[in-house]
Amino acid sequence: MRSDSVNSTVVYNITQLTDIVDRMRSQLRLAVIHGGDKTQPGAVIYPTHNPRSTKTYHTVAKDIAEALGELGFKQVSLLADDMTLPQTLETQGIHLAWLNTGGVQGYDPVCHTPAMLEMLGVPYIGHNPLNSSILDNKHAFKRELQALGIATAPFVVSHPFQDPFNPETDGQFQRVFADYSGPFVVKPVSGRASVNVFVVDDWRDLGEAVATIHRITANTALIEAYLPGREFCISVCGRITYRQGAFEHIPKPFAFSAIERILEADERIFTSMDAKGMTANRMRLLSSQDESERELRSQLEAIAQQIYRAFNLSSLVRIDLRRDSQGQLYVLEANPKPDLKRPTPSQTSLVAQGLQDCKMTYTDLILSLLGDRLYHLLNYQPNLIPHLQRMMLP
Ligand SMILES: Nc1ncnc2c1ncn2[C@@H]1O[C@H](COP(=O)(O)OP(=O)(O)O)[C@@H](O)[C@H]1O
Ligand SMILES: [Mg+2]
């Protein structure tokens, strides 16, 4: 399988990747992993608190597993990431895992399963433990964005179990918001789908909003300037894509589905998907026909690609952004496990909505993510996949 590729750092090229994936369809034992349920007997030793709003993402994991089946992978399991997982991975002889989980409970739950898989030696499609944690802690991500010179709304944090937050005595708040008196957004640092996100118009009400977040999450609260402008998102993944029947190696991370989220007149923040499903009339793909939209799209793509590279990401993220009153774009967050729901006639996802424009289907995206991960592991981290290397021996 080794080639005399012109590019000395790449051992396996796209043609070889195609052959490898073809062979793996019958041999590879895959597991798509969704969040476990701590209330089930035998799931955990002691059920505890989850500072992140709990969701198992089981339905979407099923969509991914079914798509892998349609792509010809013969052995695909659907597993929960509870304490039975390591044993099940071993007994089922799983070669490669696909992480579609936000974790079960405890602090930084999004990094628990990748960390455990690192320890077990099972490779996975998903983010490494450090990136999972950074991306799922909005304040940590924003501090890195600031260091990279990528615009994000001015912010301060308030940790729980310390003195109550008081904007009048908080030195950092006084410095950051010296010339700004509101409105603000107060939200959990680790959250999802606009759950527990509050707009606070008067700085005098910040203490109460922060205390509410502390009470509900027992975790850090983020206080940032409210951005009143239009809201956008864009998805980005690696440079190996699959479309129209073939893998491609493109020059930059693949940024796609540049979307404006449609806010109603009285909707100051995007209403949670939990309360209002994600339908096509809540989003609008940025057009490639209109010049100003093309320009905006390129701007979003450039930010997404910069983030993908700067964090050395290894799988899909969806970046949420919003404009201020002057039209300047600011990054709100990058979602480490964006919704990968398979689109239906009535429901869609912010990731899948733009695929058709890229001449891709949902299964093409799933194969792109798998192909990109395999390409990376085979070429750059072969020491992480001795069992897959053995599988490829003639
Ligand atoms: N600084 C902000 N200014 C304006 N709206 C915000 C701000 N932060 C969050 N929002 C709104 O709240 C929603 C959820 O916030 P976000 O940071 O994306 O967290 P999550 O999606 O994890 O709940 C956003 O889609 C946006 O509508
Ligand atoms: Mg968001």
Domains in the chain, please, with CATH?
A: 14-125 (3.40.50.20), 154-225 (3.30.1490.20), 231-360 (3.30.470.20)
State yes or no: pLDDT of 64 exceeds 80.
yes
Question: Is-contact 193 274, C-beta < 8 A?
Answer: yes
Q: Is the CB of 301 under 6 A from ligand 1?
A: no
pLDDT tens, position by position, 197-256:
999 999 999 999 999 999 999 999 999 999 999 999 999 999 999 999 999 999 999 999
Task: Name the amino acid, one letter, at 318.
Answer: R
CA nearest ligand 1 atom 25, residue: 270
pLDDT tens, position by position, 322-346:
999 999 999 999 999 999 999 998 8
Question: Is-contact 247 12, C-beta < 8 A?
Answer: no
Burial profile 365-386: b = 16 or more Cβ within 10 angstroms, e = fewer: bbbbbbbbbbbbbbbeeeebbe
State yes or no: pLDDT of 48 exceeds 60.
yes
The alpha carbon of 198 and the centre of ligand 1 are apart by a number of angstroms equal to 9
Distance CA 13, CA 160 (A): 50
CA nearest ligand 1 atom 13, residue: 194
Q: What is the pLDDT of residue 346?
A: 85
Can you tell me the mean pLDDT for 26-47? Answer: 96
State yes or no: pLDDT of 55 exceeds 90.
no
Q: Is the CB of 330 under 6 A from ligand 1?
A: no
**Residues lying with their CB under 5 A of ligand 2, a single-atom ion:** 320
Q: Is the CB of 139 under 6 A from ligand 1?
A: no
Count CA atoms closer than 13 A to 130's CA, side-chain side: 5
Nearest CA to 19 out of 378, 386, 384 is that of 378
Distance CA 88, CA 85 (A): 5
Nearest CA to 128 out of 106, 105, 110, 107 is that of 110
CA nearest ligand 1 atom 2, residue: 226
Counting ligand 1 atoms within 8 A of each CB, the residue from 141, 270, 278, 332 with the most, and so the one to mutate, is 332
Q: Is the CB of 155 under 6 A from ligand 1?
A: no
Q: How confident is the model at residue 356 (pLDDT cuts 50, 70, 90)?
A: very high
Q: Is the CB of 192 under 6 A from ligand 1?
A: yes
For 52-202, list the strands marked E by DSSP. Answer: 75-80, 96-100, 124-125, 155-158, 184-188, 198-200
The alpha carbon of 136 and the centre of ligand 1 are apart by a number of angstroms equal to 14
Counting ligand 1 atoms within 8 A of each CB, the residue from 190, 259, 320 with the most, and so the one to mutate, is 320
Residue bearing tokens 């990968």: 340
Q: What angle do CA 293, 295, 297 make, to 5 degrees?
A: 70
The ligand minimizing its distance to the Cα of 222 is 1
Share of the chain above pLDDT 70, in %: 97
Q: In terms of residues, how long is the chain?
A: 394
State yes or no: pLDDT of 8 exceeds 60.
no
pLDDT tens, position by position, 120-179:
999 999 999 999 999 999 999 999 999 999 999 999 999 999 999 999 999 999 999 999
